[in-house]
Structure 1
């Protein structure tokens, strides 16, 4: 499999949202929300964007406190945690401004139950002026309604939807080192219910079959009734 990013529709929307954040007018808030079902490709897309922007990336956990969140951001900035939360906020803001680095917080669902973490992220955004991108699961946008001070600062949002057949073709052509006939591509898309993660698993298995048998193109007949994956994605038939 080729280690390349497939520029599917979700990734294109993510890129456009970030570019809009960077080029926003004075007075427009610079926070964004990325959300969607597991397997939709959020992690792959965000990893690409973090690398492209030299972003500061942290992943929230269920055990996070405000101190833990700030300490994790400090570590990503190459600094040791400080004794006072206020001092860490000042340092983080200074570093984001000085090096023009956006902040990405993955698994942001874990933050919504703690007002102090939410308010501190808002402060970091307000004081630095740098983009802050929250990444969460499907329906996180509905939970944000109850955090109006944060929701009001989100000027762009991207929902990662299940991949369509065109996206499946883009993925296959980008990462798979053998070709698929149309029938097998349609089977891949249907059996994976548009999950980018499951399609990547299926493509790896198809590629292995093709390479081991010297096939440049793997057909649906050649694939037969082999499994593409072991998961049961939502909506799979």
Structure 2
């Protein structure tokens, strides 16, 4: 499979939300919530954006405490965490302000992305720390989760009111599947098989990539090229992907 990144509709919506964030009316509205089911490409998309834009990526842990959160945040900046939380907060705040100012001079956005944020969306202490850092350092934070963040934040109006943009990652569209196949698969794939891939995978990016690996293996073995893309008829009876609910293999059907 090609080592490349495909800008799906989900990714473009996320980029659109960041542009809207820059045009926000309230200065304190510095939070963005990105959610959606597992397997829709959220982590891949956000890590890619962070790598390209010198943003900070941190993965929340289920047992995070405010002190552990601060330690991991500072580690993302390659700064050792002091013993006192208050000192760590001061260092993080100053570092965020410096990074934001430097990127602002280059007319680039700065973000802190916290993945798996469902783990912390019920922790008022951590959420308040994030709110304080965002407010004082004028640094936007992106909270990434699996659909529970928005509901959980309703418990904390003082935090929820800071959310400027909500972005939901949806299942891949027909156009997304076609783009993923064209951008990642090392053998050409016919439209009829592309349509079946979307049906068989339910539009989940994780399963689409699994299908691409199997199609690619088949196509290389059978020397499929531009003049003979892999079709349903060619792959009939071959395993395409495993069903995420049952774990059973889904095979390519005989053409009708």
Task: Give the TM-score normalised by the residue count of structure 2.
Answer: 0.87
Question: Which whole-Å deviations, capped at 9, do the CAs of 1:34-72 have from their partners, x for residues lacking one?
Answer: 000001110111111111221111111111111100000
Deviation (angstroms), 1:90 = 1.2
Residue pairs, 1:86-165, within 5 angstroms: 86-100=86-100, 101-165=110-174
- In structure 2, distance between residues paired with 1:208 and 1:37: 28
- In structure 1, distance between residues paired with 2:143 and 2:183: 27
**SS of equivalent residue, structure 1 residue 7:** coil
Contact conserved, 1:32 with 1:156, CA < 8 A, in 2? Answer: yes
Tell me which residue corresponds to 2:52. 52
* Runs of 5+ unmatched residues, structure 1: none
- In structure 1, distance between residues paired with 2:2 and 2:62: 34
**Structure 1 stretches of at least 4 aligned residues deviating more than 3 Å after TM superposition:** 22-26
- In structure 1, distance between residues paired with 2:147 and 2:133: 25
2:219 alignment partner, one of 210, 227, 235: 210
State whether structure 2 residue 231 is matched by structure 1 residue 222.
no
Contact conserved, 1:22 with 1:131, CA < 8 A, in 2? Answer: no
Question: Which whole-Å deviations, capped at 9, do the CAs of 1:104-158 have from their partners, x for residues lacking one?
Answer: 1111111123211010000010011111100001232122211211110000110
State whether structure 2 residue 205 is matched by structure 1 residue 196.
yes
Contact conserved, 2:24 with 2:164, CA < 8 A, in 1? Answer: no
* Runs of 5+ unmatched residues, structure 2: 101-109, 251-256
**SS of equivalent residue, structure 2 residue 242:** coil
Contact conserved, 1:192 with 1:233, CA < 8 A, in 2? Answer: no
Bigger radius of gyration: 2
Contact conserved, 1:109 with 1:140, CA < 8 A, in 2? Answer: yes
- In structure 2, distance between residues paired with 1:52 and 1:25: 27
Tell me which residue corresponds to 1:72. 72
Deviation (angstroms), 1:23 = 4.4
- In structure 2, distance between residues paired with 1:130 and 1:81: 20
Supply the RMSD in Å over aligned alpha carbons: 1.8
- In structure 1, distance between residues paired with 2:27 and 2:62: 33
Deviation (angstroms), 1:97 = 1.3
- In structure 1, distance between residues paired with 2:59 and 2:73: 10
Corresponding pairs, count: 236
Task: Give the TM-score normalised by the residue count of structure 1.
Answer: 0.94
